[in-house]
């Protein structure tokens, strides 16, 4: 365990003692055996690489000090799964993390291309690592230097329709949240995703499609702007 403590101590600026203890708990449950380092840094969460014997995993750790209360509250209000929004910020981040895990699990079970969720504890989520054949983490599509944008757009739209069929709207859909695994999309970052029963579902769905259409259009793809009305009808009819 001393070796693992030294590994965690490298990230002392990221982890507080509480989070380090959570990682120990998850490790002791057998979910991972090695902690390998950081994959990506974000405003609300960082993602780290881990291994469970020969299997590579991703550990997403939400920040309990720097996350935005306003942003979290915006997507929590109106979600029937979370009828009470706590004023304790740390507990709110725990709910936010749980929301991502629930959304990820729902999308995964309905066949959406997402990382397989494995375990959730407080502000930590353990999931499948999306990687290439050499086990390098797959990049988001905006970081890919060579990409068949027309084909990727078609695949992305098919995944978005699957998201709707699963009863969700992503609500933060963009080129940053779509990984390229062997020229196929994998959708990530699900904390803000909402149920289609949410009162602002049409607004968030339209924003998703406007964002992704704009990005692909800038890459020379002829996008389908009529999808917005089509998907609105799909939601209304549910």
Per-residue pLDDT band for 1 (boundaries 50, 70, 90) equals: very low
User: Who has greater pLDDT, 3 or 102?
Assistant: 102
Q: Which pLDDT value is given to residue 135?
A: 84
Average pLDDT over residues 30-55: 90
Q: Which pLDDT value is given to residue 37?
A: 84
Q: Which pLDDT value is given to residue 60?
A: 96
Q: Where are the domains of the chain?
A: 2-128, 141-237
pLDDT tens for 135-165 read: 889 999 999 988 999 999 999 999 999 999 9
Task: Please report where in the chains the tokens 């990049």 appear, as a residue.
Answer: 139
Average pLDDT over residues 217-237: 94
Q: Which pLDDT value is given to residue 20?
A: 84
Q: What b/e sequence results for 183-218 when a residue is b if at least 16 CB atoms lie within 10 Å of its CB, and e otherwise?
A: eebbbbbbbbbbbbebeebbebbbbbbebbbebbee
Neighbours of 49 (CB within 10 A): 20
Q: Does domain 141-237 have CATH number 1.10.510.10?
A: yes
Average pLDDT over residues 117-137: 94
pLDDT tens for 203-212 read: 999 999 999 9
Note whether 22 and 122 are within 8 A (CB): yes
Per-residue pLDDT band for 70 (boundaries 50, 70, 90) equals: confident
**Res 179 pLDDT > 50:** yes
Collapsed DSSP state (helix, strand, coil) of residue 77: coil
Q: Does domain 2-128 have CATH number 3.30.200.20?
A: yes
Tallying the residues shown for the chain, one arrives at 238
Write down the H helix ranges in 51-88: 69-76
Q: Average pLDDT over the chain, rounded to whole?
A: 90
**Res 14 pLDDT > 70:** no
Note whether 15 and 48 are within 8 A (CB): no
Task: Please report where in the chains the tokens 């988001």 appear, as a residue.
Answer: 140
Q: Which pLDDT value is given to residue 120?
A: 98
**Res 71 pLDDT > 90:** no
Which residues are known to be catalytic?
Answer: 172, 189
Q: Per the structure block, which two tokens stand in for 101?
A: 């895990």
**Res 66 pLDDT > 80:** no
Per-residue pLDDT band for 84 (boundaries 50, 70, 90) equals: confident
- Alpha-carbon distance of 103 to 189, in angstroms, equals 10
Global pTM value: 0.92
Q: Which pLDDT value is given to residue 78?
A: 85
């Amino acid at each position: 365990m001393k070796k693992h403590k030294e590994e965690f101590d490298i990230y002392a600026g990221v982890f507080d003692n509480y989070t380090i203890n959570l990682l120990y708990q998850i490790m002791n449950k057998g979910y991972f055996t090695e902690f390998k380092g950081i994959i990506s840094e974000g405003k609300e969460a960082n993602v780290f690489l881990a291994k469970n014997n020969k299997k590579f995993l991703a550990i997403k750790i939400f920040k309990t000090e720097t996350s935005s209360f306003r942003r979290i509250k915006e997507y929590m209000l109106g979600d029937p799964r979370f009828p009470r929004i706590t004023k304790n910020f740390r507990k709110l981040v725990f709910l936010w993390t749980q929301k991502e895990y629930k959304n990820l699990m729902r999308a995964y079970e309905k066949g959406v291309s997402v990382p397989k969720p494995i375990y959730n504890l407080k502000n930590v989520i353990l999931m499948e690592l999306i990687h290439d054949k050499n086990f390098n983490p797959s990049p988001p599509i905006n970081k890919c230097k060579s990409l068949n944008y027309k084909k990727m757009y078609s695949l992305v739209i098919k995944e978005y329709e699957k998201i709707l069929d699963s009863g969700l709207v992503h609500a933060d859909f963009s080129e940053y949240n779509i990984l390229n695994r062997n020229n196929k999309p994998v959708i990530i970052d699900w904390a803000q995703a909402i149920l289609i029963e949410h009162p602002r579902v049409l607004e968030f769905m339209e924003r998703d499609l406007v964002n992704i259409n704009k990005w692909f259009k800038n890459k020379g793809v002829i996008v389908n702007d009529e999808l917005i009305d089509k998907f609105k009808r799909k939601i209304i009819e549910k």
